[in-house]
Structure 1
Amino acid sequence: MNPIYLALDLPRLDAALALAQKVKGHVGGLKLGLEFFCAHGHHGVHEIAHVGLPIFLDLKLHDIPNTVASAMQAIHVLQPAIVTVHAAGGRAMMEDAKAAAGERTKVVAVTVLTSLDDDDLAATGVGGSAHDQALRLADLAREAGLDGIVCSGHEIGEIHKRWKNGFFVVPGLRPAEAGGGNHADQKRIVTPRQARDGGASVLVIGRPISRAEDPVAAARAIEATL
């Protein structure tokens, strides 16, 4: 299975659909995030599903347990392969999210966003490092019965050792040839190959493919490193 999921967080549905059709032979799935879902809703997801690849709904659900369970039930009809919730919502919320999900949907918990570093966490009152917080929340997600977690490539190796059969999604990836200066809003990044070697099940890649001059060539180049 190709572990690359292309992040299709584009404002226009026609552009997202055209890009998905163009690179579908070189990615394993399509990730639709909050921007896409708010702009295009169920209709947009159905349109992208026609491409024929698994859909990852990266909605990062985070609310009281009953509300998250109801939201999960509301997206049953979309048959997503993966859905995200926030581990910070607590064990009861995660348990209810998993219980409400479709049988074929993997529910994974976001640990620490890859846009956050130690200083950002300290400003919100979280003690310790981003690394330590990710490990704590990964343990909580496992105890709640989730399928896996979302974490940065910096934590994947250690979390994989602690959770051998977990399903791990790693975002914030940049190919080695991208260099050190173009990381946009990501702070804790690794290369796709490093994440895969650490135990990642899914590699979420957006701008290195979607904003490349030749998206197909970019996707093929990343695929070749794996």
Structure 2
Amino acid sequence: MPATEPRVIVALDFPRVESALDLLGRLDPGRCRVKIGKELFTRAGPALVERVVRDGFDVFLDLKFHDIPNTVAAACAAAADLGVWMVNVHASGGPAMLAAARARLDQLDQPPLLIAVTVLTSLDAADLAAVGCPGEPADRVLQLARLAQTAGLDGIVCSPREAGGVREALGPAFRLVTPGVRPASAAQGDQKRVMTPAQAVAAGADFLVVGRPVTGAADPMAALSAIEAELASVGPAGDRSVSPAAS
């Protein structure tokens, strides 16, 4: 376990609220964060987010806001009112949208981390070409990451395979949140650009989003402990964890 703060964000990607609450009862909020995404939020709404926050968990509200600037800014402020630790928007929403979100959260005494989604980890070069963005995912990720940093965002979501290039280009303070993380023994699932936890942190990731390897385990804390042990093998050079208070 890192001596500073948890790097693992457990994805609560459940179709039923009861399943999410059952898992939360088996997790230690001092050893992981949790992610609430579109499906669970749509079923349970803001009340669940507030409950999970009251239970002591740092919540990454993963709704990927993408709309006109004023609408996204207002949505980010509403997320902050729920007490979340981190919220995200789509970098492809453009500079005005990103700047509006940043400006609205900057009005708060303790804003959540604001990060931008770059290229979804389910997409490869063929998928990008199909939607009119030809080229390699890594190039698109770096382009969008630069856009987010220029707008003052705290970091991005990217595949661990792009983390090294972004870290080198944008420096140590820019947070990198990486889904597509699978322990070596786990199935790849529907992610196409994946790495193990140790590989992701060594590449430059700050926070790792992990779903089924923890949520589908018979003993979720044992699965989390195994990931912690793998991360410990990276050593101090791979430990880029940062305090959200520094945002």
User: How many positions carry a matched residue from both structures?
Assistant: 223
- Structure 1-normalised TM-score? 0.95
1:111 aligns with 2:115: no
How far 1:177 moved relative to its partner? 1.8
TM-score by length of 2: 0.87
Q: Deviations over 1:124-167 (max 9, x none)?
A: 01021111100100011111110000000111011011121101
- Cα deviation, 1:92-133, whole Å, max 9, x if unaligned, reads 101111112243311000000000000000000102111110
* 1:200 and 2:205 matched: yes
Q: Give the C-alpha shift of residue 47 in structure 1.
A: 1.7
Amino acid at match of 1:18: D
Runs of 4+ in 1 over 4 A off after TM superposition: none
From 146, 155, 159, the counterpart of 1:139 = 146
Shift of 1:209: 0.5
What is the root-mean-square deviation in Å for CA atoms of aligned residues? Answer: 1.3
Q: Which amino acid aligns with 2:16?
A: R
- Name the counterpart of 2:236: none
Q: Does 1:15 align with 2:19?
A: yes
Q: Which runs of 5+ in 1 are unaligned?
A: none
- Where structure 2 has 5 or more consecutive residues not aligned to the other structure, the ranges are 232-247
Residue 28 of structure 2: SS of its match in structure 1? helix
C-alpha separation in 2, matches of 1:131 and 1:76: 31
**Distance in 2 between the 1:73 and 1:46 partners?**
15
- After superposition, give the CA deviation of every residue in 1:168-201 in whole Å (9 maximum; x if it has no partner): 10001100122xxx22211110111111111111
Partner of 2:237: none
**Shift of residue 10, structure 1, vs aligned partner:** 1.2
- The residue number in structure 2 matching 1:177 is 185
Q: CA deviation at 1:21?
A: 2.2
CA contact (8 A) 1:95 1:144 kept: yes
1:30 matched to which residue of 2? 34
Name the aligned partner's letter for residue 111 of structure 1. Answer: T
In 2, Cα distance between equivalents of 1:47 and 1:171: 24
